[in-house]
Amino acid sequence: MKLSCFKAYDIRGQLGEQLNEAVAYRIGRAFAEHLEAKEVVVGADIRLTSEPLKLALSAGLIDGGAAVTDLGMTGTEEIYFATSYLNQSGGIQVTASHNPIDYNGLKLVREGSRPISGDTGLDKVKSLAESYDEQDVAVSLAAYAKKQMQGEFAKGQGLVNKQALFATDRYHNQSVLEAYTEHMLGYIDPGQLKPLKLVVNAGNGAAGHAIDAIEKALHGKGVKIEFIKVNHQGDGTFPNGIPNPLLPECRHQTREAVIGHQADMGIAWDGDFDRCFLFDEQGDFIEGYYIVGLLAQAFLTKNPGAAVIFDPRVYWNTEDVILNAGGRPVMSKTGHAFIKERMRKEDAVYGGEMSAHHYFRDFAYCDSGMIPWLLVAELLSNSGKPLSQLVSERIAAFPSSGEINRIVDDADATLARILKTYQPLANRRDNTDGIGLEFDNWRFNLRKSNTEPVIRLNVETRADKALLQQKTTELLQLIDSK
């Protein structure tokens, strides 16, 4: 059979034909066989279908020759942590992150929490998973099956009997939450944290238990931080909508809580909490681009001369911060597999993308949604400045448009039209990811989506908001013209 749920860097698909328990079984078995995995750690987010998919995945891993350590309900970064901490052959998180409720997916890493993408083994896992005989898969799954009533999978009650997994003696549950929490706090000096009031919005996703564990650990160290919890309890029906603070319509609850409680900062996460989004003390959302600069400065203060990785969509502010802090700026193609690979090559202490993915050398070069806000809380404590002041100076120095998406009939023709107009006037062209053209006092990056007829535009200037507005409008008009 052909599997359409495999993407360039992970696995995502609509529930039913694209992704179901039989497909999860195939993927688990193929993963174990391809990696010749001895031990694999698994976890799942809060979605109702994540637990049954994880159990079917575990059955496949066991039949592929691996022992399975199940962490239970987790965020993706807990799998990254556990894969390295427990010295596993690999790790798999069942999650659809911020995708619609009728989707789910899997994120896979190999030993050392190294990513698996199309050119580093994911294509081979796909081919192997597709090769299994359908009847053989059905018979194999039946060995783990419980009586199933129609519609139970959608309600979170799937095919695989957990007791049948335990009976193999190759499946067990374990928690690494205490060790994970200790590692998170290792990025800061808790003794430096001043009394702060923080709004934390888990979005009814997977972040709540990690927040609680960090809160308990901080209070145990005498840190006087008050956590105001919004949508804290995990709920796979997502009564307040899919958690995705990148969308403006998903920000109002965090903003209102910050203002209403006069908090020092607001923090919101996506469903599997590998990304966090920050709000200043006025309730204003801070673009991820400027958080990259803040974190770069924080790391370079402790690691002078280190390399910092950033993506090419907008980078003037980040580059300026790195150079002024005595660091080494290194540009990488957008995407977690590219960033992680370049970080290893450069031994970079930190890497950041404007999309709110932040990567850390001491976290196996993986991304985390908990480390960033801890570092910013420490920065607030040490600087004595409100968050709005810390970022407003940088926003004024390097204003940016934010990423603007446009649906187009022909992405290649649109790119060609933009190039014909602007390249003759440019001082420099960069092809790291899409097209980047630089002029005396402004620049832009234009990329096409790999999966849909969409063009993504980012514009930035040097301390000139009027020029930013003018050039953004100008480019969008040309993009929208036929």
Average pLDDT over residues 383-403: 96
Average pLDDT over residues 446-458: 89
Residue 410 has pLDDT above 60, yes or no: yes
The residue that leads in pLDDT, 116 or 117, is 116
Residue 372 has pLDDT above 90, yes or no: yes
DSSP 285: B
Q: 460-470 in b/e burial notation, b at 16+ Cβ within 10 A?
A: bbbeeeebbee
Average pLDDT over residues 183-198: 97
pLDDT mean across residues, the chain: 95
Residue 398 CA to residue 39 CA, distance in Å, equals: 47
Instruction: Look at 318-327, 331-340, 351-360 and tell me which has the smallest mean pLDDT.
Output: 331-340
DSSP 160: B
Residue 149 has pLDDT above 60, yes or no: no
pTM above 0.85, yes or no: yes
Give the CA radius of gyration of the chain.
Answer: 23
Instruction: Look at 65-79, 262-276, 332-346 and tell me which has the smallest mean pLDDT.
Output: 332-346
pLDDT of residue 150: 55
pLDDT of residue 151: 64
Average pLDDT over residues 372-393: 96
DSSP 442: E
In terms of C-beta density within 10 A (0-12 exposed, 13-18 middle, 19 or more buried), how is residue 6 classed? buried
What pLDDT digit, counting tens, does each position of 247-289 carry?
999 999 999 999 999 999 999 999 999 999 999 999 999 999 9
The dihedral over CA atoms of 193, 340, 279, 382, expressed in degrees to the nearest 10, equals: 20
Residue 313 has pLDDT above 80, yes or no: yes
pLDDT of residue 119: 80
What pLDDT digit, counting tens, does each position of 467-479 carry?
999 999 999 999 9
Average pLDDT over residues 295-300: 95
Catalytic (active-site) positions: 97
334 within 8 A of 353, measured Cβ to Cβ: yes
pLDDT of residue 160: 94
pLDDT of residue 452: 79
Backbone angles phi, psi at 260, to 5 degrees: -65, -35
